[in-house]
Structure 1
Amino acid sequence: MVMRFAFCFILFAVALPALAIDRLTASVDKNPVLVGEYFTLTIEANGKVSGQMPDTSAISKNFVTGPISTSSRTQIVNGSMSSATSWQMQVMSRSAGEFTIPAFDISGTKSQPINLRVVARESDESQQKDVFVTTELSPESLYVQQAALYTVKLFIGKDLLDAQMTQPMMDEGSITPMGQQEESYEVLDGRRYRVITRKYLVQPQKSGSFTIEGPIFNGQVREGYRRMAVSAVGDAIDIEVKPIPDDYRGAWLPSELVNLAEEWQPEDKQVIVGSPITRTFTLTALGITKEQMPDLDIPSVDGFRIYPDETDRNQMARDGRVISQMVASYALLPQKPGKYTLPEIQLPWFNTVINRIQYATLPARTIEVIADPNQPQQPVVQPQTNAITQPVAPPSEPEPTIIYKDSEKSWLDWLIMCLGYVLWLATLLTFLFKKSPAPLQTSSTNDQATVTTDAQTKLKLLGKVAKQNDLRQFYTLLRAYVELEYQQSLKAWLSQQPTEIREEIAKLQASLYSSNKQQVELVTLYNYMNKIKKRSKSDAKIHLETLY
């Protein structure tokens, strides 16, 4: 009976939540503390909490706070049960002075406020010699969205065991790490330091006065046979951010120096129709990021097809400056002979050194496009008339006039008539022998047969290359086949072909000379060529039958 009563009592005690918290306390593990030194704030509640947490938002106004960790415990001593919940967080002050950590409230129970003293680092000169942090901003004067290089150096004079350093902070600005940290050694005042260097990219997003708060270092070093906690804070840097000038037009590009250059492949100012030209632009700028590099506006030129190629953007830090570079290539395909002038290219940018708008300029360029000397000239076809010219017999001797009499013909009359028919027959045979075509020379026949054989070989190779899906080799063979088979350039031959084959070859050219890669069915294109070949043979056969 007693055991049953004790079991029920314990079960009831566990299930019954506490009606209130007995006590709520707040404490710190250090007081006073150094500027930039982390200390631990502990809040503890005796009693059942039921998932509640203290509100710590008030201390964020004067302190830098870390995440909160929660722990709880329950004890039963001599049948008496007690429970407690504690919350801990790392807190740090960036400035010296007297501060008050306010009271905390949970379920109506409040803690006592804490008076905290934060001491400036100059009061601890011995530690300053062991560990210290320096900060530097270049350039110091900035415009909106202008990129600056922020350099942090951590000097450590003892063996480092553990280290943690925060990132610098700035309101209305972005701070991004650049590359990996660097390690080196320097000697200052006769003491050797291990130096850890970190670089950041700073970009203010609004104009006005701002402060870049320096990073905070906390760690442990070895001193003899014991571990010693150390900390350091980088100096804050005040900056004045200037707005975008009202008279500036175009994409905002604030920089100390902008350079625009170009390269041509081939470099000749005289090119052949259909031969691709590669034009490469290189844009270099100081004090901006690679994301800020603008796209170039390349004007179109009548007589040229322009295909954009890949664009590459990079950035790096050198001599305390951020340097960005963009390389963009374009393929130019001349379509017809003539002289063309590619217009001037201008890119506006704002010079932050002299505070003036300037232009990166490429002058106009004249290019002469000539016809392909290896292509035969297209013959001029004379229009054919529908009228059929009848052969005209050469003049012959006048036939004798025969006078018929009503009386019966004599033998002399019959003789004269027969001689007239024989003379007419001889004249007709003479005319026919003069009009018969002369036989072709043997050398011409052999040349024509050779051309036909080469064209057929090229057509067979087109089929093999189509199955291999080799676009460039297929295009080269296609041009050679058309020149052999039809005695025309590819452009002239295409103007006489159906729309579907012109569209397929346009896709092939775009895939070879532009970044607009398209799906080209080479097998389908090869089948088109076979159909055209068969149709040409059929038309030739019908034409010959009509003549004969």
Structure 2
Amino acid sequence: MVMRFAICFILFAVALPTLAIDRLTASVDKNPVLVGEYFTLTIEANGKVSGQMPDTSAIAKNFVTGPISTSSRTQIVNGSMSSATSWQMQVMSRSAGEFTLPAFEVSGIKSQPINLRVVARESDDSQQKDIFVTTELAPQSLYVQQAALYTVKLFIGKDLLDAQMTQPTMNEGSITAMGQQEEAYEVVDGRRYRVITRKYLIQPQKSGNFTVEGPIFNGQVREGYRRMAVSAVGESIDVEVKPIPNDYRGAWLPSELVNLAEEWQPEDKQVVVGSPITRTFTLTALGITKEQMPDIEIPSVDGFRIYPDETDRNQMARDGRVISQMIASYALLPQKPGTYTLPEIKLPWFNTVINRIQYATLPARTVEVIADPNQPQTTTVQPQPNATMQPVAPSNQVEPTIIYKEADKSWGDWVLTGSGYALWLITLVVMLLRKPHTPVQAPAKNSQDPDNTNAQDTLKQLGKVAKQNENRQFYTLLREYVELAYKQPLKSWISQQPTEIREEIAKLQASLYSANKQQVDLVTLYNHMSKIKKRSKSDAKSRLETLY
């Protein structure tokens, strides 16, 4: 018996590769089908298939298709062996009409075409009242790369058990989901619905006339004690996309409204040499994405060093519109005294409401830079005329001779002086006798304490990072050290430091944020920091000695 089973198995294994496809069939589980309703397409091959799949790309032109699942089976009945492989996929049509599913081919064998009828949904369809989808696009007339907000609402009037909804589609356009879906309840025609809202950002990439195909919903609802399949399709929306005007120059910025504002810190129009100024720009635009927000370039000004800081971009949807905002900061470091005029900033944008080029501008600003009053002033000493250049006085002119002579003291002056010394000695003896012998306490550390433990550890790390020439890590540790040791922000602390420290930190910031990279001597900057610490300790010691 065992021998017979082994022989059958060997014969089966030998015969398996020789099997080939002798028939290929294609079928659908529904015909006709409703618009937006999924049906199952099954393609089955009788015979052995070695890693082959039918080409279904032809039906993607008129239908929405899902992934293909493959299954196979082999059986032996009365010594006769048969093998079959089947492929299944979910298919759906967005429009009504008569369609033909083409013939499919596997290993040279073809199936028969399938005639399929897709029926439009009636407006009074009871299922349509239970589940329906609405779509909205604002605005519907766009320019290339202009952002529009596409809103999808799914109305559910029954107990939903299972659901899936596709995304909208558009040729030559990018579609991006915005945020999380929202859920609420609305009353439509006297019936209460659960409403699921999804929002998408649509940006056409080419000019012309296009169609945004609505999403498709398929799911199951509870009908008494049964599960009933339901489906719905969002309406398609036609979109007119206009090209970029030929006379437009600059970064393309199509918007309904653009606003450019700025903020100065400090706000004073008079600043000190070496004191940093923070200039923050806020650019707000309606109808574009945050990625489209252009960089703001500040013209260079002789007498100032300009370093860009971090830039933050955000976007949101409000009142059916996409709103984007960019916040960019720059550090301005005045180098020498004088009166400077910072040029105006002009940003072009295209107004899609009036179809005209406009400019978001910031006017020129005058800044007065004064010398640092804490730094020693360099005075110009006029050279004294040489003695040989002085005019010679006439021989008959006699210079007056002034003789200073100490006045003679009387006996009363001597008595008064001696009495003063005697009183001083008596007072000194009395103070020494009354002085309490209590231990002298060291003064408490003030809020600016570069000698605390955490600050010392951070300063040691600064020294290690300086030797490794790690600019960004050094700048991070420097900010941490100043906050620990001096209890104030780095910007305020820098303004209080000598010129050599301010210049080194300015070079460090330029190496991090500026396009023109500068060489930074981190070891020198660290040595300056160490000198400040030693000087602080020396000052504290001097204050302590005055108590003894």
| TM-score (normalised: structure 1) | 0.74
Q: Distance in 1 between matches of 2:457 and 2:107?
A: 80
The 8 Å contact of residues 494 and 502 in structure 2, kept in 1 or not, is answered as no
Q: CA deviation at 1:512?
A: 6.6
The 8 Å contact of residues 256 and 351 in structure 1, kept in 2 or not, is answered as yes
Q: Does 1:103 align with 2:103?
A: yes
Match of 2:504 among 504, 507, 511: 507
Q: Secondary structure at the match of 2:179?
A: coil
The 8 Å contact of residues 149 and 202 in structure 2, kept in 1 or not, is answered as yes
The 8 Å contact of residues 104 and 111 in structure 2, kept in 1 or not, is answered as yes
Q: CA deviation at 1:124?
A: 6.4
* Structure 2 equivalent of residue 524 of structure 1: 527
Q: CA 1:263 to 1:321, structure 2 compared with 1: closer, same or farther past 3 Å? A: same
Q: CA deviation at 1:374?
A: 4.1
The 8 Å contact of residues 36 and 232 in structure 2, kept in 1 or not, is answered as yes
* Structure 2 equivalent of residue 394 of structure 1: none
Q: CA 1:33 to 1:386, structure 2 compared with 1: closer, same or farther past 3 Å? A: farther
The 8 Å contact of residues 31 and 116 in structure 2, kept in 1 or not, is answered as yes
- Identify the range of structure 1 (374-383 vs 466-475) with the bigger mean alpha-carbon deviation: 466-475
The 8 Å contact of residues 145 and 205 in structure 1, kept in 2 or not, is answered as yes
* Structure 2 equivalent of residue 325 of structure 1: 325
Q: CA 1:11 to 1:37, structure 2 compared with 1: closer, same or farther past 3 Å? A: same
Q: CA deviation at 1:387?
A: 12
Q: CA deviation at 1:471?
A: 5.2
Q: CA deviation at 1:12?
A: 2.1
Q: Which residue identity lines up with residue 509 of structure 1 in the other structure?
A: A
* Structure 1 equivalent of residue 425 of structure 2: none
- The alignment covers a number of residue pairs equal to 445
- Identify the range of structure 1 (15-24 vs 318-327) with the bigger mean alpha-carbon deviation: 15-24
CA deviation digits over 1:353-372, x for unaligned, max 9?
A: 00000000101111112223
Q: CA 1:164 to 1:87, structure 2 compared with 1: closer, same or farther past 3 Å? A: same
Q: Distance in 1 between matches of 2:521 and 2:67?
A: 54
Q: Distance in 2 between matches of 1:109 and 1:478?
A: 81
* Structure 1 equivalent of residue 180 of structure 2: 180
* Structure 1 equivalent of residue 391 of structure 2: none
Q: Which residue identity lines up with residue 314 of structure 1 in the other structure?
A: N
* Structure 2 equivalent of residue 484 of structure 1: none
Q: CA 1:529 to 1:71, structure 2 compared with 1: closer, same or farther past 3 Å? A: closer
1:31-430 matches, within 5 Å, as: 31-122=31-122, 125-381=125-381
The 8 Å contact of residues 276 and 495 in structure 2, kept in 1 or not, is answered as no
The 8 Å contact of residues 137 and 151 in structure 2, kept in 1 or not, is answered as yes
Q: CA deviation at 1:384?
A: 9.7
Q: Secondary structure at the match of 1:296?
A: coil
The 8 Å contact of residues 466 and 526 in structure 1, kept in 2 or not, is answered as no
Q: CA deviation at 1:188?
A: 0.6
Q: Distance in 1 between matches of 2:166 and 2:494?
A: 64
Q: Distance in 2 between matches of 1:386 and 1:12?
A: 128
RMSD: 3.3
Q: Does 1:11 align with 2:13?
A: no
Segments of 5+ residues of structure 2 without an aligned counterpart are 389-402, 404-448, 460-480, 515-519, 535-548
The 8 Å contact of residues 307 and 509 in structure 2, kept in 1 or not, is answered as no
Q: Distance in 2 between matches of 1:466 and 1:338?
A: 40
- Identify the range of structure 1 (321-330 vs 58-67) with the bigger mean alpha-carbon deviation: 58-67
Q: Distance in 1 between matches of 2:328 and 2:156?
A: 45
CA deviation digits over 1:257-288, x for unaligned, max 9?
A: 00001111111112222222111111000000
Q: CA 1:523 to 1:298, structure 2 compared with 1: closer, same or farther past 3 Å? A: closer
The 8 Å contact of residues 18 and 47 in structure 1, kept in 2 or not, is answered as no
1:443-482 matches, within 5 Å, as: 468-469=458-459, 470=481
- Identify the range of structure 1 (462-471 vs 339-348) with the bigger mean alpha-carbon deviation: 462-471
Q: Distance in 2 between matches of 1:364 and 1:317?
A: 33
Q: CA deviation at 1:23?
A: 2.2
Q: Secondary structure at the match of 2:168?
A: coil
Q: CA deviation at 1:507?
A: 2.7
Q: Secondary structure at the match of 1:247?
A: coil
Q: CA 1:261 to 1:371, structure 2 compared with 1: closer, same or farther past 3 Å? A: same
The structure that has the greater radius of gyration is: 1
Q: Secondary structure at the match of 2:522?
A: coil
